[in-house]
A and B are shown apart, each in its own frame.
Chain A
Amino acid sequence: MTDRFCLWLLLLAACPPLAPGQGAPPRDPREARLAREVAGKGWIVTASRTQKGDWDLFLMRPDGTHRRDITNTPDYNEMGGRFSPDGKRILYRRIAKDVKIRHDGWGATGELVIANADGTNPQVYGPPGDFPWASWSPDGKQVACLTKTGIEIRELATKQVVRTVDRHGIYQQLFWSPDGHWFCGPANHYGESWTVVRLSADTSEVNVVAKFQNCTADWFPNSQRLIYSSRPANQEEPDGGKLAQAVKQKPGYGWTQLWMADGDGNNRSLVYGEDGRHIYGGDISPDGKYVLFTKSMTDGGIDTGIIFLMRLSDAPTIGGESIALRKLHPDAKNGPILQLSPGWEPHWTYANIGGGR
Protein backbone atom coordinates (compact mmCIF):
# COMPACT_ATOMS: atom_id res chain seq x y z
CA MET A 1 0.00 0.00 0.00
CA THR A 2 1.50 3.33 -0.96
CA ASP A 3 2.00 6.24 1.40
CA ARG A 4 -0.36 8.27 -0.78
CA PHE A 5 -3.12 5.72 -0.47
CA CYS A 6 -2.64 5.55 3.30
CA LEU A 7 -2.95 9.33 3.38
CA TRP A 8 -6.12 9.09 1.32
CA LEU A 9 -7.64 6.56 3.71
CA LEU A 10 -6.86 8.92 6.57
CA LEU A 11 -8.59 11.73 4.69
CA LEU A 12 -11.60 9.52 4.06
CA ALA A 13 -11.76 8.75 7.74
CA ALA A 14 -11.57 12.46 8.51
CA CYS A 15 -14.30 13.32 5.99
CA PRO A 16 -16.77 10.43 5.82
CA PRO A 17 -19.35 10.57 3.04
CA LEU A 18 -22.48 12.16 4.36
CA ALA A 19 -25.72 10.26 4.38
CA PRO A 20 -28.70 11.61 2.45
CA GLY A 21 -30.29 14.49 4.26
CA GLN A 22 -27.41 14.86 6.66
CA GLY A 23 -25.80 18.28 6.63
CA ALA A 24 -22.14 19.09 7.25
CA PRO A 25 -21.23 19.19 10.93
CA PRO A 26 -22.07 22.74 12.10
CA ARG A 27 -18.67 23.67 13.48
CA ASP A 28 -19.56 27.25 12.71
CA PRO A 29 -23.23 28.32 12.59
CA ARG A 30 -22.39 30.36 9.50
CA GLU A 31 -21.28 27.17 7.72
CA ALA A 32 -24.57 25.49 8.64
CA ARG A 33 -26.42 28.48 7.22
CA LEU A 34 -24.37 28.32 4.02
CA ALA A 35 -25.03 24.59 3.72
CA ARG A 36 -28.79 25.16 4.00
CA GLU A 37 -28.57 27.99 1.47
CA VAL A 38 -26.93 25.86 -1.25
CA ALA A 39 -28.34 22.40 -0.47
CA GLY A 40 -31.00 22.47 -3.17
CA LYS A 41 -28.99 24.30 -5.81
CA GLY A 42 -28.28 21.52 -8.27
CA TRP A 43 -25.41 19.06 -8.20
CA ILE A 44 -21.65 18.91 -8.06
CA VAL A 45 -19.55 16.32 -9.83
CA THR A 46 -16.03 15.58 -8.71
CA ALA A 47 -13.37 12.94 -9.08
CA SER A 48 -12.61 11.21 -5.84
CA ARG A 49 -10.82 8.08 -4.67
CA THR A 50 -12.97 5.11 -3.80
CA GLN A 51 -12.18 2.81 -0.89
CA LYS A 52 -10.71 0.43 -3.49
CA GLY A 53 -8.14 3.08 -4.30
CA ASP A 54 -9.21 4.01 -7.83
CA TRP A 55 -10.65 7.36 -8.90
CA ASP A 56 -14.36 7.48 -9.75
CA LEU A 57 -16.74 10.34 -10.41
CA PHE A 58 -19.13 11.24 -7.62
CA LEU A 59 -22.27 13.35 -7.64
CA MET A 60 -23.29 15.27 -4.55
CA ARG A 61 -25.50 18.12 -3.51
CA PRO A 62 -23.65 21.41 -2.95
CA ASP A 63 -23.89 20.88 0.81
CA GLY A 64 -22.02 17.59 0.45
CA THR A 65 -25.04 15.35 0.96
CA HIS A 66 -26.44 12.64 -1.34
CA ARG A 67 -22.92 11.73 -2.44
CA ARG A 68 -22.86 8.79 -4.81
CA ASP A 69 -20.43 7.07 -7.13
CA ILE A 70 -21.65 7.38 -10.73
CA THR A 71 -18.91 5.52 -12.60
CA ASN A 72 -18.03 2.50 -10.45
CA THR A 73 -15.11 1.30 -12.56
CA PRO A 74 -12.48 -0.41 -10.39
CA ASP A 75 -10.35 -1.10 -13.47
CA TYR A 76 -10.20 2.55 -14.55
CA ASN A 77 -9.67 5.97 -13.07
CA GLU A 78 -12.04 8.78 -14.00
CA MET A 79 -11.16 12.46 -13.86
CA GLY A 80 -12.34 15.85 -15.08
CA GLY A 81 -16.13 15.56 -15.03
CA ARG A 82 -17.82 18.54 -16.71
CA PHE A 83 -21.56 18.96 -17.12
CA SER A 84 -22.86 19.98 -20.53
CA PRO A 85 -24.30 23.50 -20.56
CA ASP A 86 -27.83 22.10 -20.27
CA GLY A 87 -26.74 19.81 -17.44
CA LYS A 88 -28.08 16.70 -19.15
CA ARG A 89 -24.75 15.10 -19.98
CA ILE A 90 -21.30 14.88 -18.59
CA LEU A 91 -17.89 14.49 -20.20
CA TYR A 92 -14.82 13.09 -18.50
CA ARG A 93 -11.58 11.16 -19.05
CA ARG A 94 -11.47 7.42 -18.42
CA ILE A 95 -7.84 6.51 -17.74
CA ALA A 96 -6.27 3.07 -17.53
CA LYS A 97 -5.10 2.31 -14.01
CA ASP A 98 -1.46 1.92 -15.01
CA VAL A 99 -1.35 5.46 -16.47
CA LYS A 100 -0.06 8.13 -14.13
CA ILE A 101 -2.62 10.85 -13.42
CA ARG A 102 -0.96 14.24 -13.43
CA HIS A 103 -2.83 16.95 -11.53
CA ASP A 104 -2.29 19.32 -14.45
CA GLY A 105 -2.21 16.89 -17.36
CA TRP A 106 -5.16 14.54 -16.92
CA GLY A 107 -7.11 16.14 -19.77
CA ALA A 108 -4.80 14.71 -22.41
CA THR A 109 -4.70 11.19 -21.01
CA GLY A 110 -7.19 8.35 -21.26
CA GLU A 111 -10.32 8.27 -23.35
CA LEU A 112 -12.98 10.92 -23.63
CA VAL A 113 -16.29 9.56 -22.33
CA ILE A 114 -19.67 11.28 -22.62
CA ALA A 115 -22.51 9.96 -20.47
CA ASN A 116 -25.81 11.06 -19.08
CA ALA A 117 -25.32 13.42 -16.15
CA ASP A 118 -26.09 10.62 -13.71
CA GLY A 119 -23.31 8.49 -15.24
CA THR A 120 -25.58 6.16 -17.20
CA ASN A 121 -24.99 5.29 -20.85
CA PRO A 122 -21.26 6.11 -21.04
CA GLN A 123 -20.00 6.39 -24.61
CA VAL A 124 -16.29 6.36 -25.45
CA TYR A 125 -15.11 8.89 -28.04
CA GLY A 126 -11.92 7.74 -29.71
CA PRO A 127 -8.79 6.01 -28.45
CA PRO A 128 -6.72 7.13 -25.44
CA GLY A 129 -5.32 10.60 -25.98
CA ASP A 130 -7.91 11.58 -28.59
CA PHE A 131 -10.14 14.63 -27.96
CA PRO A 132 -7.51 16.10 -25.59
CA TRP A 133 -8.82 18.66 -23.08
CA ALA A 134 -12.32 18.44 -24.60
CA SER A 135 -14.45 21.37 -23.50
CA TRP A 136 -18.16 21.83 -24.25
CA SER A 137 -19.48 24.31 -26.81
CA PRO A 138 -22.40 26.48 -25.65
CA ASP A 139 -24.95 24.25 -27.42
CA GLY A 140 -23.31 21.01 -26.31
CA LYS A 141 -23.03 19.77 -29.89
CA GLN A 142 -19.31 20.36 -30.24
CA VAL A 143 -16.19 20.19 -28.13
CA ALA A 144 -13.00 22.23 -28.38
CA CYS A 145 -9.87 20.10 -28.10
CA LEU A 146 -6.33 21.28 -27.47
CA THR A 147 -3.77 19.67 -29.77
CA LYS A 148 -0.20 20.56 -30.74
CA THR A 149 -1.44 21.82 -34.08
CA GLY A 150 -4.14 24.05 -32.63
CA ILE A 151 -7.54 24.16 -30.97
CA GLU A 152 -9.77 21.79 -32.89
CA ILE A 153 -13.53 22.29 -32.85
CA ARG A 154 -15.08 18.83 -33.30
CA GLU A 155 -18.68 17.86 -33.92
CA LEU A 156 -19.73 15.22 -31.44
CA ALA A 157 -22.21 13.63 -33.87
CA THR A 158 -19.57 12.97 -36.53
CA LYS A 159 -16.37 13.30 -34.45
CA GLN A 160 -15.01 15.40 -37.33
CA VAL A 161 -12.90 18.54 -36.97
CA VAL A 162 -14.94 21.42 -38.36
CA ARG A 163 -12.59 24.29 -37.51
CA THR A 164 -9.09 24.85 -36.15
CA VAL A 165 -7.94 27.90 -34.20
CA ASP A 166 -4.29 28.78 -33.50
CA ARG A 167 -3.68 27.84 -29.87
CA HIS A 168 -1.30 30.80 -29.30
CA GLY A 169 0.85 28.96 -26.80
CA ILE A 170 -1.97 27.49 -24.68
CA TYR A 171 -0.74 24.08 -23.63
CA GLN A 172 -3.27 22.57 -21.24
CA GLN A 173 -6.49 23.11 -19.25
CA LEU A 174 -8.42 24.58 -22.17
CA PHE A 175 -11.89 25.90 -21.39
CA TRP A 176 -14.41 27.31 -23.86
CA SER A 177 -16.45 30.23 -22.53
CA PRO A 178 -20.18 29.76 -21.97
CA ASP A 179 -20.96 32.31 -24.72
CA GLY A 180 -18.65 30.53 -27.18
CA HIS A 181 -16.55 33.60 -27.98
CA TRP A 182 -13.43 32.84 -25.93
CA PHE A 183 -10.98 30.21 -24.80
CA CYS A 184 -8.74 30.34 -21.77
CA GLY A 185 -5.81 28.36 -20.48
CA PRO A 186 -2.22 28.57 -19.31
CA ALA A 187 0.13 29.57 -22.11
CA ASN A 188 3.68 30.43 -23.01
CA HIS A 189 3.71 34.19 -23.34
CA TYR A 190 6.22 36.98 -22.80
CA GLY A 191 8.92 34.45 -22.06
CA GLU A 192 7.13 32.85 -19.15
CA SER A 193 5.09 29.70 -19.02
CA TRP A 194 2.03 29.46 -16.77
CA THR A 195 0.58 32.73 -18.04
CA VAL A 196 -3.21 32.55 -18.12
CA VAL A 197 -4.47 33.99 -21.39
CA ARG A 198 -7.82 34.71 -23.01
CA LEU A 199 -8.04 33.84 -26.69
CA SER A 200 -10.81 35.03 -28.99
CA ALA A 201 -12.52 32.13 -30.73
CA ASP A 202 -13.72 34.61 -33.37
CA THR A 203 -10.61 36.65 -34.22
CA SER A 204 -7.79 34.59 -32.67
CA GLU A 205 -6.61 37.66 -30.75
CA VAL A 206 -5.01 36.84 -27.44
CA ASN A 207 -4.49 38.80 -24.24
CA VAL A 208 -2.80 38.11 -20.93
CA VAL A 209 -5.03 37.68 -17.89
CA ALA A 210 -2.33 36.87 -15.34
CA LYS A 211 1.43 36.39 -15.77
CA PHE A 212 3.76 34.04 -13.86
CA GLN A 213 2.70 30.83 -12.14
CA ASN A 214 -1.01 30.76 -12.92
CA CYS A 215 -3.21 27.91 -14.07
CA THR A 216 -6.58 26.11 -13.93
CA ALA A 217 -8.48 29.11 -15.23
CA ASP A 218 -12.22 28.76 -15.69
CA TRP A 219 -15.03 31.02 -16.78
CA PHE A 220 -17.65 32.90 -14.85
CA PRO A 221 -21.13 32.19 -16.27
CA ASN A 222 -21.17 35.63 -17.94
CA SER A 223 -17.98 34.81 -19.91
CA GLN A 224 -16.59 38.19 -18.82
CA ARG A 225 -14.50 37.10 -15.86
CA LEU A 226 -12.14 34.26 -15.01
CA ILE A 227 -11.22 32.40 -11.87
CA TYR A 228 -7.75 30.90 -11.67
CA SER A 229 -5.02 29.67 -9.36
CA SER A 230 -1.87 31.69 -8.78
CA ARG A 231 1.32 31.16 -6.79
CA PRO A 232 2.80 34.64 -6.42
CA ALA A 233 6.57 35.02 -6.24
CA ASN A 234 8.51 36.02 -3.13
CA GLN A 235 5.97 34.93 -0.54
CA GLU A 236 7.08 35.73 2.98
CA GLU A 237 7.68 32.83 5.38
CA PRO A 238 7.36 34.34 8.86
CA ASP A 239 7.74 30.91 10.46
CA GLY A 240 11.11 30.42 8.81
CA GLY A 241 9.67 27.83 6.46
CA LYS A 242 8.22 25.42 9.04
CA LEU A 243 4.89 25.17 7.21
CA ALA A 244 6.72 24.22 4.03
CA GLN A 245 9.00 21.76 5.77
CA ALA A 246 5.99 20.01 7.28
CA VAL A 247 4.92 18.91 3.78
CA LYS A 248 8.48 18.52 2.44
CA GLN A 249 8.10 21.66 0.32
CA LYS A 250 11.21 23.58 -0.64
CA PRO A 251 11.76 26.87 1.20
CA GLY A 252 10.50 29.85 -0.74
CA TYR A 253 8.26 27.77 -3.01
CA GLY A 254 5.11 29.57 -1.86
CA TRP A 255 1.44 28.65 -1.66
CA THR A 256 -1.07 28.63 -4.50
CA GLN A 257 -4.06 30.95 -4.08
CA LEU A 258 -7.39 31.39 -5.85
CA TRP A 259 -7.80 34.63 -7.79
CA MET A 260 -10.29 36.19 -10.20
CA ALA A 261 -9.97 38.82 -12.93
CA ASP A 262 -11.77 40.36 -15.86
CA GLY A 263 -11.16 38.67 -19.19
CA ASP A 264 -8.89 41.54 -20.22
CA GLY A 265 -6.77 41.03 -17.09
CA ASN A 266 -8.13 44.02 -15.19
CA ASN A 267 -9.58 43.99 -11.68
CA ARG A 268 -7.53 41.07 -10.39
CA SER A 269 -8.39 40.16 -6.83
CA LEU A 270 -7.87 37.39 -4.33
CA VAL A 271 -10.76 34.98 -3.80
CA TYR A 272 -9.32 32.56 -1.24
CA GLY A 273 -5.87 31.86 0.12
CA GLU A 274 -4.36 30.02 3.03
CA ASP A 275 -0.67 29.80 3.89
CA GLY A 276 0.14 26.11 4.15
CA ARG A 277 -2.37 25.01 1.53
CA HIS A 278 -2.46 24.99 -2.28
CA ILE A 279 -5.79 26.12 -3.76
CA TYR A 280 -6.87 24.78 -7.14
CA GLY A 281 -9.92 23.76 -9.14
CA GLY A 282 -11.86 27.03 -8.90
CA ASP A 283 -15.37 26.60 -10.31
CA ILE A 284 -18.12 29.22 -10.21
CA SER A 285 -21.75 28.26 -9.56
CA PRO A 286 -24.15 28.68 -12.48
CA ASP A 287 -25.62 31.84 -10.90
CA GLY A 288 -22.17 33.32 -10.25
CA LYS A 289 -22.76 33.61 -6.49
CA TYR A 290 -20.62 30.79 -5.12
CA VAL A 291 -17.26 29.23 -5.81
CA LEU A 292 -15.92 25.72 -5.39
CA PHE A 293 -12.23 24.99 -4.92
CA THR A 294 -9.87 22.38 -3.61
CA LYS A 295 -7.33 22.71 -0.84
CA SER A 296 -4.36 20.39 -0.86
CA MET A 297 -1.37 20.08 1.41
CA THR A 298 1.18 19.66 -1.37
CA ASP A 299 1.35 21.37 -4.75
CA GLY A 300 -0.31 19.09 -7.25
CA GLY A 301 -1.26 16.73 -4.45
CA ILE A 302 -4.48 15.34 -5.84
CA ASP A 303 -4.49 12.73 -3.08
CA THR A 304 -4.78 15.40 -0.41
CA GLY A 305 -7.39 17.52 -2.21
CA ILE A 306 -10.54 18.43 -0.31
CA ILE A 307 -13.39 20.38 -1.89
CA PHE A 308 -14.72 23.54 -0.29
CA LEU A 309 -17.46 26.02 -1.17
CA MET A 310 -17.83 29.71 -0.32
CA ARG A 311 -19.90 32.72 -1.31
CA LEU A 312 -18.18 35.03 -3.77
CA SER A 313 -19.53 37.92 -1.73
CA ASP A 314 -17.22 36.71 1.05
CA ALA A 315 -14.14 37.16 -1.14
CA PRO A 316 -11.41 37.77 -0.37
CA THR A 317 -11.34 35.23 2.39
CA ILE A 318 -8.19 33.96 4.08
CA GLY A 319 -8.13 30.69 5.95
CA GLY A 320 -5.95 29.52 8.80
CA GLU A 321 -3.44 31.69 10.60
CA SER A 322 -1.82 32.86 7.34
CA ILE A 323 0.26 35.61 8.92
CA ALA A 324 2.01 36.55 5.66
CA LEU A 325 -1.12 36.52 3.51
CA ARG A 326 -3.16 38.53 6.00
CA LYS A 327 -0.42 41.15 6.01
CA LEU A 328 -0.85 41.53 2.25
CA HIS A 329 -4.65 41.54 2.43
CA PRO A 330 -5.51 43.25 5.73
CA ASP A 331 -9.17 43.71 4.76
CA ALA A 332 -9.77 40.04 3.95
CA LYS A 333 -12.85 38.37 5.37
CA ASN A 334 -13.17 35.14 7.26
CA GLY A 335 -15.55 33.00 5.25
CA PRO A 336 -17.52 30.97 5.98
CA ILE A 337 -16.22 28.16 3.85
CA LEU A 338 -18.01 24.84 3.71
CA GLN A 339 -16.04 21.60 3.58
CA LEU A 340 -17.64 19.08 1.22
CA SER A 341 -15.55 15.99 0.54
CA PRO A 342 -12.18 14.75 -0.71
CA GLY A 343 -11.89 15.26 -4.46
CA TRP A 344 -10.34 17.02 -7.42
CA GLU A 345 -11.68 19.23 -10.25
CA PRO A 346 -15.28 19.82 -9.11
CA HIS A 347 -17.96 21.16 -11.45
CA TRP A 348 -21.44 22.47 -10.69
CA THR A 349 -24.79 22.40 -12.51
CA TYR A 350 -28.17 23.67 -11.45
CA ALA A 351 -29.89 21.06 -13.62
CA ASN A 352 -32.15 18.53 -11.96
CA ILE A 353 -30.30 15.26 -12.30
CA GLY A 354 -32.49 13.27 -9.94
CA GLY A 355 -31.66 10.64 -7.42
CA GLY A 356 -31.82 12.93 -4.40
CA ARG A 357 -34.56 14.81 -2.56
Chain B
Amino acid sequence: MSRAGWLWCALLLVVVAVSCGRKNSAEVDAEVTSLGTVEVTAQVEEIPGAFPPNDLYNYAYVLKYRVLKVHRGQLPGQEILVAQYNPLKPRTTVADDVSGKVGGHVEAFRAGDIHRMALAAPVDQFWMGGIIDKYFQQPGVRYWAIWTNPGSR
Protein backbone atom coordinates (compact mmCIF):
# COMPACT_ATOMS: atom_id res chain seq x y z
CA MET B 1 0.00 0.00 0.00
CA SER B 2 1.26 3.42 -0.86
CA ARG B 3 2.06 6.06 1.73
CA ALA B 4 -1.09 7.96 0.68
CA GLY B 5 -3.12 4.79 1.09
CA TRP B 6 -1.83 4.25 4.65
CA LEU B 7 -2.63 7.85 5.49
CA TRP B 8 -6.15 7.48 4.08
CA CYS B 9 -6.75 4.33 6.15
CA ALA B 10 -5.47 6.01 9.30
CA LEU B 11 -7.75 8.99 8.74
CA LEU B 12 -10.72 6.66 8.22
CA LEU B 13 -9.95 4.85 11.48
CA VAL B 14 -9.80 8.12 13.37
CA VAL B 15 -13.16 9.22 11.92
CA VAL B 16 -14.76 5.88 12.81
CA ALA B 17 -13.34 5.97 16.31
CA VAL B 18 -14.55 9.52 16.95
CA SER B 19 -17.99 8.73 15.56
CA CYS B 20 -18.38 5.66 17.75
CA GLY B 21 -17.16 7.52 20.81
CA ARG B 22 -19.42 10.53 20.36
CA LYS B 23 -22.66 10.37 22.34
CA ASN B 24 -25.93 11.24 20.74
CA SER B 25 -26.88 14.83 21.54
CA ALA B 26 -30.08 13.46 23.12
CA GLU B 27 -27.87 11.64 25.62
CA VAL B 28 -25.33 14.28 26.49
CA ASP B 29 -26.48 17.86 26.69
CA ALA B 30 -25.70 20.90 28.77
CA GLU B 31 -28.36 20.08 31.35
CA VAL B 32 -27.45 16.48 32.11
CA THR B 33 -23.81 17.39 32.53
CA SER B 34 -24.42 20.31 34.85
CA LEU B 35 -27.67 20.02 36.84
CA GLY B 36 -27.90 18.42 40.27
CA THR B 37 -25.02 16.86 42.14
CA VAL B 38 -24.74 13.45 40.52
CA GLU B 39 -24.67 12.36 36.86
CA VAL B 40 -25.07 8.69 36.03
CA THR B 41 -25.83 6.24 33.30
CA ALA B 42 -28.17 3.66 34.78
CA GLN B 43 -30.60 0.97 33.72
CA VAL B 44 -34.23 0.81 34.90
CA GLU B 45 -34.27 -2.47 36.80
CA GLU B 46 -37.98 -2.58 37.32
CA ILE B 47 -41.13 -0.51 37.43
CA PRO B 48 -42.99 -1.89 40.43
CA GLY B 49 -46.52 -1.12 39.25
CA ALA B 50 -48.63 0.78 36.76
CA PHE B 51 -48.19 4.56 36.78
CA PRO B 52 -51.40 6.21 37.99
CA PRO B 53 -52.89 8.87 35.72
CA ASN B 54 -51.76 12.39 36.50
CA ASP B 55 -54.34 14.45 34.67
CA LEU B 56 -55.34 16.10 37.96
CA TYR B 57 -52.83 15.13 40.62
CA ASN B 58 -49.09 15.45 40.10
CA TYR B 59 -46.81 12.88 41.69
CA ALA B 60 -43.34 11.42 41.63
CA TYR B 61 -42.82 7.67 41.19
CA VAL B 62 -39.80 5.88 42.59
CA LEU B 63 -37.97 3.58 40.15
CA LYS B 64 -35.12 1.20 40.88
CA TYR B 65 -32.02 1.70 38.72
CA ARG B 66 -28.78 -0.27 38.37
CA VAL B 67 -25.90 2.13 37.95
CA LEU B 68 -23.68 1.45 34.93
CA LYS B 69 -21.40 4.45 35.18
CA VAL B 70 -20.99 7.46 37.46
CA HIS B 71 -19.97 10.49 35.41
CA ARG B 72 -20.09 13.07 38.17
CA GLY B 73 -20.51 13.02 41.95
CA GLN B 74 -20.68 10.00 44.22
CA LEU B 75 -23.18 7.25 44.89
CA PRO B 76 -23.45 4.85 47.84
CA GLY B 77 -23.93 1.73 45.71
CA GLN B 78 -24.78 0.17 42.37
CA GLU B 79 -28.52 0.21 42.97
CA ILE B 80 -30.31 3.52 43.42
CA LEU B 81 -33.91 4.63 43.90
CA VAL B 82 -34.88 7.55 41.71
CA ALA B 83 -38.11 9.56 41.83
CA GLN B 84 -39.34 10.53 38.38
CA TYR B 85 -41.89 13.35 38.16
CA ASN B 86 -45.17 12.47 36.40
CA PRO B 87 -43.59 9.52 34.54
CA LEU B 88 -46.45 9.16 32.08
CA LYS B 89 -45.33 12.40 30.44
CA PRO B 90 -42.40 12.73 28.01
CA ARG B 91 -39.49 14.49 29.70
CA THR B 92 -39.55 17.26 27.09
CA THR B 93 -42.96 18.43 28.31
CA VAL B 94 -43.00 17.28 31.93
CA ALA B 95 -42.00 20.57 33.59
CA ASP B 96 -44.85 22.65 34.95
CA ASP B 97 -45.51 25.46 37.42
CA VAL B 98 -44.94 23.27 40.47
CA SER B 99 -42.19 20.88 39.35
CA GLY B 100 -39.15 23.11 39.42
CA LYS B 101 -36.61 22.38 36.71
CA VAL B 102 -37.12 18.88 35.31
CA GLY B 103 -36.82 17.56 31.78
CA GLY B 104 -34.73 15.62 29.34
CA HIS B 105 -35.35 13.61 26.19
CA VAL B 106 -36.76 10.31 27.43
CA GLU B 107 -40.17 9.76 25.90
CA ALA B 108 -41.45 6.96 28.14
CA PHE B 109 -40.27 4.75 30.98
CA ARG B 110 -39.76 1.03 30.39
CA ALA B 111 -37.97 -1.58 32.47
CA GLY B 112 -34.59 -2.36 30.92
CA ASP B 113 -34.09 1.06 29.35
CA ILE B 114 -30.83 2.88 29.95
CA HIS B 115 -30.93 6.52 31.02
CA ARG B 116 -28.34 9.20 31.53
CA MET B 117 -29.54 11.34 34.40
CA ALA B 118 -28.70 14.41 36.44
CA LEU B 119 -29.80 13.71 40.00
CA ALA B 120 -30.09 15.48 43.33
CA ALA B 121 -30.97 14.23 46.79
CA PRO B 122 -32.93 13.82 48.90
CA VAL B 123 -36.13 14.06 46.90
CA ASP B 124 -37.96 15.86 49.74
CA GLN B 125 -35.73 18.88 49.24
CA PHE B 126 -36.77 19.23 45.62
CA TRP B 127 -40.33 18.01 45.31
CA MET B 128 -43.06 18.72 47.83
CA GLY B 129 -45.93 16.61 46.59
CA GLY B 130 -47.16 13.09 46.27
CA ILE B 131 -44.50 10.39 46.05
CA ILE B 132 -45.39 6.80 45.23
CA ASP B 133 -42.62 4.65 46.64
CA LYS B 134 -43.22 0.91 46.47
CA TYR B 135 -39.76 0.45 48.05
CA PHE B 136 -40.80 2.26 51.24
CA GLN B 137 -39.52 -0.61 53.38
CA GLN B 138 -36.07 -0.25 51.86
CA PRO B 139 -33.99 2.36 53.68
CA GLY B 140 -31.74 4.74 51.81
CA VAL B 141 -31.67 7.89 49.77
CA ARG B 142 -34.34 8.69 47.20
CA TYR B 143 -32.86 10.70 44.34
CA TRP B 144 -34.79 13.31 42.39
CA ALA B 145 -34.37 13.02 38.63
CA ILE B 146 -33.81 16.53 37.35
CA TRP B 147 -32.81 15.61 33.82
CA THR B 148 -33.36 12.24 32.15
CA ASN B 149 -31.98 11.44 28.71
CA PRO B 150 -31.77 8.16 26.81
CA GLY B 151 -28.44 6.55 27.65
CA SER B 152 -26.13 3.88 26.31
CA ARG B 153 -23.63 1.42 27.73
Contact = CB atoms under 8 A, between A and B. Distances in A.
Interface of A: 100, 102, 104-105, 108, 146-149, 167, 169, 171-172, 186, 188-194, 250, 299-300
Contacts of A171: 128-130
Interface stretch (B53-61, B101-109, B110-118): B53-61
B134 A194 contact: no
Interface in B27-85: 53, 56-57, 59
A172 B128 contact: yes
Contact of A193 (B59, B98, B135): B59
18 contacts: A105-B98, A108-B128, A146-B128, A147-B128, A148-B125, A169-B124, A169-B131, A171-B129, A171-B130, A172-B128, A172-B129, A188-B130, A188-B133, A190-B136, A191-B132, A193-B129, A193-B131, A194-B57
A104 B126 CA distance: 19
**Which range contains the number of B residues in contact with the other chain?**
10 to 19
Contacts of B128: 108, 146-148, 171-172
A250 B53 contact: yes
Nearest to B62: A191
A102 B99 CA distance: 14
Contact of A191 (B57, B97, B129, B134): B134
B56 A193 contact: no
A192 B132 contact: yes
A171 B126 CA distance: 12
A104 B125 CA distance: 20
A193 B136 contact: no
Tell me which of B53, B129, B134 has the highest count of chain A C-beta atoms within 10 A of its own C-beta: B129
B11 to A, nearest CB: 54
Contacts of B129: 171-172, 193
Contact of B131 (A147, A188, A250, A299): A188
B131 A148 contact: no
Contacts of B98: 102, 105
Nearest to B133: A191
Given A169-B131, A193-B129, 11 more contacts: A102-B98, A104-B57, A147-B128, A148-B125, A148-B126, A172-B129, A186-B130, A188-B131, A188-B133, A189-B136, A191-B136
Nearest to B48: A191
Nearest to A132: B128
Contacts of A192: 132
A152 B59 CA distance: 24
Nearest to B49: A191
Nearest to A150: B124
Contacts of B133: 188, 191
Contacts of A147: 128
Contacts of A167: 124
Given A104-B57, A148-B124, A193 B97 contact: no
A88 to B, nearest CB: 31
A248 to B, nearest CB: 11
Contacts of B135: 191
B130 A193 contact: yes
Contacts of B56: 299-300
Contacts of A190: 136
A300 B135 CA distance: 29
Nearest to B130: A193
Nearest to B96: A100
Contacts of B130: 171, 186, 188, 193-194
A251 B67 CA distance: 39
Contacts of A108: 128
Nearest to B132: A193
Contacts of A191: 132-136
